[in-house]
């Protein structure tokens, strides 16, 4: 599935991932391939990408959470996510 993470200043990430874990108002929620369409607000926390690798251009934006599981995180203050047809856009601060 394709995920794009944007801030007002720059593109944080754009590429293929296995899944993404997001900080929602009522707790974290996981979006995986073939997930139903969703639009949701996000609260402060970490966006976690589950993927084998992050491109060199985007690696500086992420912290590797786990050597074993290939989980990369990016901290946010707030935001919104729209996901449909295996494509997601995360707008955040």
Give the number of domains in the chain: 1
pLDDT along the chain (93 residues), means of 10: 97 97 96 96 97 92 86 97 98 97
pTM of the model as a whole: 0.94
- Residue 52 belongs to domain with CATH number: 2.60.15.10
Give the range of the structural domain holding residue 32, as residue numbers without chain letter: 2-92
Per-residue b or e along 34-71, where b marks 16 or more CB atoms closer than 10 Å to that residue's CB: ebeeeeeebeebbbbbbbeebeeebeebbeebeeeebb
pLDDT digits (tens, 9 = 90+) for 8-23: 999 999 999 999 999 9
């Amino acid at each position: 599935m394709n995920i794009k993470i944007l801030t007002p200043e720059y593109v944080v990430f754009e590429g293929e991932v296995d899944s993404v874990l997001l900080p929602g108002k009522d707790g974290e929620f996981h979006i995986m391939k073939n997930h139903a369409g969703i639009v949701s607000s996000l609260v402060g926390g970490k966006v976690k990408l589950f993927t084998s690798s992050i491109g060199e251009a985007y690696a500086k934006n992420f912290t590797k959470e786990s050597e074993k599981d290939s989980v990369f995180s990016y901290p946010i203050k707030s935001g919104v996510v729209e996901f449909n047809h295996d494509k997601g856009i995360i707008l955040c601060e």
